[in-house]
Amino acid sequence: MIAQTQPTPRTNQPNNNLTAIAWLSNPVLLAIVTIVLTNMCTYWLTRSRDHNKEFKETKKLNERLIVENRILQVLQQVATKDDIANMATKDDIANMATKDDIARLESNMATKKDLKEGLDNVNKG
């Protein structure tokens, strides 16, 4: 007599691969999965694009700040309003001694010889 084997009892756990295929063969569920995946991809692509846009804007702002800082450094080395106000005016320059004035003053100055004679006169005195 041939031994008969008993069939294996069925479990309530279906094959996962077959279940996924069965779910995706349903057109309504396939449409829902497609919409969800499309929205997820759109979200990530948009987020990436917005991030790149923000990065470019931040880079432009940083470059602008660098330029403004350089301008400020140059301006700090330039004369201030007070410095300019304290500079010589046209009248000050007009009232300055000319070469002739300096020559006249030099001619009226005592020479070393005059100073020596004056010192000798004081000592003899």
Query: Structural domain boundaries of the chain?
Result: 16-124
Greatest distance between any 2 Cα atoms in the chain? 168
Return all residues near 111 (Cβ < 8 A) that are at least 6 apart: none
Per the CB < 8 A criterion, the answer to whether 50 and 44 are in contact is no
**If you average pLDDT over residues 39-56, what whole number do you get?**
83
In this prediction, residue 23 carries a pLDDT of 66
Contact 30, 24 (CB under 8 A): yes
pLDDT band of 111, cuts 50, 70, 90: confident
